[in-house]
Chain A
């Protein structure tokens, strides 16, 4: 280190300037989320306060710019424009220079997004330069965070990767410095390896991962101690003495110390910075804390009256190591004016500790009031009193002076802080000035560049000028440049031939000069060009017979401003002459065209416009270009066709040829054949079309008629479900085939017509039918009409179809068979139905012939139309004999009347049901037959329920055997009845012989008789049922005569079925027997009524039978008999018939009621008994 520069370089080498944009991206993301957002949230746009941040150790500035980018982005998002001020400080001047330049290698692309690059950087090829707006928000300055005061009112401090290089005490200091500089609650942003844990009282972690901390709002905001005043660990051990006495209470020394504690004057121990190290318990009354944060300097804490003296005394004690006892000062303690002295003593310096001082506050007792002074003065000689008065005045002045001093000290401190800030601002301003200077330099550079460009342009203008000069002299076209006032600005040499001008005439008005043209309008035309700004072109002749095109155009400057007129004169004499020749030639051609009967026309290249048409008497002429030619000449229906053909011709650049309709001279539609050829220019482009058209109306009509006829035929063919075809008579190939072919043959026409289609067709025909079909076709070829049937197998699904073909020859005018026409009809379905019908009829016949009945069909009144073979076999009649009324011949003559009557009734009843005898041919016997028939009806008309009868279908069944069996049965039933009653008679006889005569035997006899009666009733009844009235009458009758006047019987007609009759009859028998013996019939006054009625209940109809005896004197002592009769009524009837019964022996006579359920009787009376 021989020179200061070397020292500086060494220092620079020690500094570590490693950084990058958005170093540790997640941390930046967190910062943006946690801090940047919050800062902007709190931003009050009204107060115009900006965002202030401090980047400590900014190195080459990436970090500072990163922060600035975040702030700018956030501001843009919120559409705010706060002033963003970032202080970026470092010790390394070299790094700072880089930072100020803001120019970075392209490698930053890795760290900075494309979007950010585009927005905040200028691409300078190998480098990116920071844009001005970003650059301006960062202020770079050399600054030692340790040695120099901090920036203030900050929103964010970013100190990344600096703390790790510092020892812990320095870290603490830096933290307190940062805390001081930050607004309360604002953010500290540290590097990933750093923490603010050394100052947890100042910072709380907000995001530990991203190392973002918030400044705790701290009540005591002490200006951080700058390191040159640092006294590390100076507090250690100072509190020990106060603890000792507590531990050693009881010892005399401790007692002494304790006593001292209580009674000794209030005291305070301060360190070399006058900060309080320890206070005695009683010192409180001397302390009066000022407003604001709690100071820890003792002189600031004591009552204001004492502060000046104490400060002086402390300085003496700490620096000079001299004790001081201050003069008593009046202070108000406990609301009393008291005299206070302070004894300040240096404390001996211990090892590793700074100087300390002990302050005793000595209370000098209260000060008498003014009155006391007065009193004292009164008693004192005059001199003393005067002194006292002076002293008092002095004391008051002193108090006031001290107050003033305090205020001044406060002001000075405030001013000092302001000055520090101002100083920072100055530094910043200096920075900015430096930046401005750099910018000025770059502007200077640019000016140099512009100057160079100007020079090069000037030289190119010179070149252009000489080119123009050469152009004007080399061209034959006379050109005249006039200004707005028609003064000549410039002209080319040929002008001199037309105007009498020389170079010297430039600047004079053109009209001043004579010329050799038959043209006087130059002045007017030039003015018109100037006013209309549109060019004017005229052809003029010179006095020597030459022709010129005079073109006047406005003169446009490069800025598109009109500055005069350019007049050019082009010699067109040769062209003019050629034109004249051409016109003459055209006139001749035109005459020729007009003389022609053909229609001739010319069209524009794309046919948009008809240039000319000569109608030749057929079409109206067109003499001037006409864009509506299509509408005029061609009916609308043909427009599309014509357009299409035209377009095709244009595209192909080939001949247009089309037959189409046109509106002729008279307005009638005619046909024309139009042909047009394109006329090409040298480049091969169509210049125009030249066409001719001839009338073809007559031919066209003839063609149309033919086509229409063919079309009608074709439509018939298309619509027909039959296949129509035409074959060539020689080749037999189809020339025409209708769509029905596809449906029937299951083969598309395209397939069918391909190849040798006759051979293919023959192949489709089933082999067994093939020869026949081919032969039929041959016959037609020879001139015959043929109808033939054949089968084909459809190749699609293998289905076989029946076809019936009618083919015929088609002759030419000479009578030769040229073609063969054919109509093919699909008769598959017909064949199928026919077959089905045959099958059905066969089955029906089999059925009819199989049944044993004789079946026949008949018209009305028994006129037969058909008899089944069975009838014929049975009667021996022939089919014919049976028809009409012939069948009656084999019907028994006695039955003819009945049969005829039955037929008469058959029509109105809609059925026939009769019996008659028929003679059997085999043995000549008459046998009973039952005949039944129903009509076959036609479908009814809408208002009819049944349609008219078409015929009768009937069966006649031999019932001779049935009849015989019925007769046998009748005999058998009679026999059975007879035997039953005989059996009963035998049983009675057996009993009579076996049992001696007794009342019991009589009863037995009577009961057996009753049973016999029941059997009699039942055997007489075919329906196996008996009317109740008959049963009642029989039982009453059986009891004997002469009772009729005593008995009343009555009730509706009711029938008892066989199962019920016996039980009811036996019950009635018992009741009647009793009445005859003891009851109503036996006694003279007795009366009996037997009545019954129907009772309809919810669960069905009941029959209620009442047996009611009156006027009977019931025999005394006759017990309720539980004999056979009673049991029959009360037990058997309920058991067998489910009847409800009641039997009462009343004093007036017997009463009995039997209620039968519906299962035990029938009502109303069925027709057998009507």
Chain B
């Protein structure tokens, strides 16, 4: 599993949006371990959007649903428009996710950085294979 993840995320450019510093660091560490390039991390929605406009190539994204009391959905929309695979990280219950985004791959907190990285790797693999 770990091997698969490292293979699939190596050299990938992954956008990370997470407002909690310590959690963000954990995710960054986990992704760096498997050789991915980190875009961010960003703690605010506007920083995430700025990154989107600046980066031509984004291979995947790990997104906290709530960034400093702002919902991540605009970023999700933009990424989906660019067909970028993404994984949501959230402490909310499924019922708190709007129906339009309920089908997106999701990790419920508290998840470790490794958990998130693995989930993202799987999503990217599915996308590239499928």
Contacts and interface: CB of A to CB of B under 8 A. Distances in A.
Q: A and B: partners?
A: yes
Given A1132-B21, A1132-B22, A1135-B21, A1059 B43 contact: no
Interface string B11-38: 0000000011110110000000000000
B21 A1136 contact: yes
Interface in A933-954: none
A1131 B23 CA distance: 13
Interface string A1107-1150: 00000000000000000000000011001101000000000000
Contacts of B24: 1135
Interface residues of A, number: 7
Interface string A1051-1090: 0000000010001000000000000000000000000000
B69 A1136 contact: no
Contacts, number: 18
Nearest to B42: A1135
A715 B69 CA distance: 82
Contacts of A1132: 21-22
A1131 B24 CA distance: 11
A1131 B28 CA distance: 14
Nearest to A1131: B21
Contacts of B80: none
Contacts of B43: 1135-1136, 1138
A1135 B22 CA distance: 10
Interface in A126-157: none
Given A1135-B43, A1136-B43, A1059 B22 contact: no
Contacts of A1135: 21, 24, 41, 43
Nearest to B44: A1138
Nearest to A1160: B68
A1131 B44 CA distance: 15
Nearest to B20: A1136
Nearest to A1128: B21
A1015 to B, nearest CB: 15
B28 to A, nearest CB: 11
Interface in B84-112: none
Contacts of A1063: 21
Contacts of A1059: 68-69
Nearest to A1136: B21
Contacts of B19: 1136
A1106 B81 CA distance: 46
A1132 B43 CA distance: 10
A1099 to B, nearest CB: 15
Contacts of B21: 1063, 1131-1132, 1135-1136
B115 to A, nearest CB: 19
Interface in A368-423: none
A1063 B24 CA distance: 14
A549 to B, nearest CB: 133
Nearest to B68: A1059
A1138 B41 CA distance: 13
A1166 B22 CA distance: 31
B40 to A, nearest CB: 10
Interface string A16-52: 0000000000000000000000000000000000000
Nearest to A1062: B20
Contacts of B68: 1059, 1136
Contacts of A1131: 21, 25
B27 to A, nearest CB: 13
Nearest to A1159: B68
Most chain B CB within a 10 A radius of its CB, from A1063, A1132, A1135:
A1135
B109 to A, nearest CB: 14
A1010 to B, nearest CB: 14
Contacts of B41: 1135
B14 to A, nearest CB: 18
Contacts of A1136: 19-21, 43, 68
Nearest to B41: A1135
Nearest to B19: A1136
A1138 B19 CA distance: 11
Most chain A CB within a 10 A radius of its CB, from B21, B25, B43:
B21
Nearest to A1057: B69
A1135 B43 CA distance: 7
B18 to A, nearest CB: 9
Interface in B37-74: 41, 43-44, 68-69
A1063 B22 CA distance: 11
A1138 B20 CA distance: 12
A1131 B21 CA distance: 8
Contacts of B22: 1132
A329 B24 CA distance: 149
Contacts of B69: 1059
Nearest to A1135: B21
Contacts of B44: 1138
Contacts of A1138: 43-44
Nearest to B69: A1059
A1136 B41 CA distance: 11
A868 to B, nearest CB: 39
A1138 B47 CA distance: 12
B46 to A, nearest CB: 11
A198 to B, nearest CB: 100
Most chain A CB within a 10 A radius of its CB, from B22, B24, B41:
B22
A767 to B, nearest CB: 63
B45 to A, nearest CB: 12
A969 to B, nearest CB: 17
A1059 B41 CA distance: 18
A1138 B43 CA distance: 9
B90 to A, nearest CB: 17
A1136 B69 CA distance: 12
B65 to A, nearest CB: 15
Nearest to B22: A1132
A1059 B21 CA distance: 12
A1063 B19 CA distance: 12
B72 to A, nearest CB: 16
A1131 B68 CA distance: 17
A1056 to B, nearest CB: 14
A467 B69 CA distance: 145
A1059 B68 CA distance: 7
Nearest to A1060: B68
A373 to B, nearest CB: 136
A89 B92 CA distance: 137
Most chain B CB within a 10 A radius of its CB, from A1063, A1132, A1136, A1138:
A1136
A1024 to B, nearest CB: 11
A1131 B25 CA distance: 10
B24 to A, nearest CB: 7
A1161 B25 CA distance: 25
A156 to B, nearest CB: 99
A383 B20 CA distance: 171
A461 B69 CA distance: 143
Nearest to B24: A1135
A1135 B19 CA distance: 8
B16 to A, nearest CB: 12
Contacts of B25: 1131
A1018 to B, nearest CB: 14
Interface in A659-711: none
A1132 B44 CA distance: 14
Nearest to B21: A1132
A961 B68 CA distance: 33
A730 B25 CA distance: 112
A697 to B, nearest CB: 104
10 contacts: A1059-B68, A1132-B21, A1132-B22, A1135-B41, A1136-B20, A1136-B21, A1136-B43, A1136-B68, A1138-B43, A1138-B44
Ranked nearest first, the 10 interchain pairs of A and B with the lowest CB-CB distance are A1132-B21, A1135-B21, A1136-B21, A1135-B43, A1136-B43, A1136-B19, A1059-B68, A1131-B21, A1059-B69, A1132-B22
Given A1059-B69, A1135-B21, A1138-B43, 6 more contacts: A1063-B21, A1131-B25, A1135-B24, A1135-B41, A1136-B19, A1136-B21
